[in-house]
Structure 1
């Protein structure tokens, strides 16, 4: 009986132990599976994050490239160990700009920088390499492939450093700013022109009172004296002086009215086109000026190979220009001759010219001679408007005015208009 019980007990214990072992083995397998599943999930999450990060980087690279393309930039880097510069992208649209060939070193780049800018840009790059600055923004001129210079602007900074913390790679961008510089120059010139115009207007206002008062005083003074003069010859002389000053006063106001209409772009100031003989008109202008000449040391004449040149244009404007050229020559010529003439240029344009042997014009005045309110000699009578009116009238006729002059030898002014002036209008 005891033997039977012991056998039964052993069998039971052995069965329970086997069950326990199997249970523990099952639990181990379950734990292993759960751990594997968790690990797989973590791995998947890590991979998803990495893929998302890579996609984000790729998207940013695309955005970055679109930005530099839209801004028309070139991107580049410099290996500071070899000092080689390499362009990574170049979206500049202008032709003939600098673009380094393989194995191009910075010393070669400096050689094509404008001499006036070379040391400045070398110093700025050196300061970046040696850590005295973190960013370089510079504008300088570089030589194009056609040996002309253009303006370029760069931004650059340190992108990589070595184990010692020293700069190893510099990255940067380049942009052609030639158009911007051109606009800057235009604005500077416009400002200078405006400042000069203001100065000339101020000078004109202070001068015009004198210019008007001088002939006006002569008119008033001599008309007051005239009733007391009994001698007919003397009265005739006084009347001649009054008429002369009256004409001067009228011309001053005429110039003022013309220039004000030109500045206001008066639409009522239209051309009065008519057919007339240009040779006859010039002969009449020269004859009138010669009759008014009081200097016996000056010979005034008109010469032309042509006896008749029929044109269709504004007679009054042509007459104004020719008369003003001759009268100006009379102001600045004390002896010698004043000659007017008509010729046809090689480009088939009519040239009406007036040449004198007067004092001439210094070169410093050449660029301003046709500007409004400008006077070469402030002591010579005139408001400084006549030549400006001449130029405006010439342009309205489809032509232009110009001159040549040498101090001490005289001047030559001319008007050029197309042969077919009607078509030019």
Structure 2
């Protein structure tokens, strides 16, 4: 993947630190990114301007040697792990091993992220290693600018996402309506049943997710309400899918809003206004623009058409009550932000554009695509139709 880590080297110089240290499993995205190694248990990654070095258990040594992007991989046993644990206990013994690993590489001071384990930091300091928390989350900022390979990974996850959305839409379209309730194969069609179809489809495309959103009516008026129970006709159904590719660990993200049957005039008006807000946001996306400017374009349109936004009323409970978007990659929510405090957008930033309107009396409406900022604008990584009514 070969990301540009020079900002991290610059941050170490400014902090007068010899290296940057992580102690976490690969579930921590910065750890996965910096080490290139996927492991369920915590391990140590040391970055210095001269290279990246891992300290892992004997169990993971062979795999780390073959699969990681590190310049070197060491075993715990090389630093007397069993003897130190026998003498000091597992926790302190492990930390003494880490201190010896650092000393072996001439590292007397390290910088660490804000969420670095406190116990590790305290024990390293007792062993004479200086540990300083960086003011800025440098690796997260580096991760925000995607390489071409990373963009391909996100695009692949989004293609799986599109297949899952198609499966959900087909299920809704095939449903019949009895007394206002949707039925499929003689049973009530529930939010849970649609989620199951989404998850099965994603698995077939090499992706998975812990949860998704299929919310209708008043439930859909809560932007993160996951939804439950039987689905009904003539009401908005918000489907928001954000899968993770099981191989690459990169995410996709997409939202569509459907009405099975006929949308009333108010739903249709709000949907059209949201689509216009979506287009206004896309028109504002370009390198050098800020996430704030993109967000303001959405707020301008909504406010001009009479809706509350959090910009016009920070206590608003209906209308446009969230930010316009967020970065996506190894985390489903990461930098950059497309929000009131969103900074400059740069080529390689991958962001969601997802304006929406919410009112329990009407339902929720949200449209979301995933785009990458390019040298002269943006490329939409989503290839899925936007439509409201399903027959």
Establish whether TM, by shorter chain, passes 0.5.
no
Q: Which structure has the larger Rg over C-alpha atoms?
A: 1
Q: Which has the higher helix share?
A: 1
Q: TM-score, length-normalised on structure 1? A: 0.20
Higher RCO (CA-CA < 8 Å; seq separation 6+): 2
Q: TM-score, length-normalised on structure 2? A: 0.21
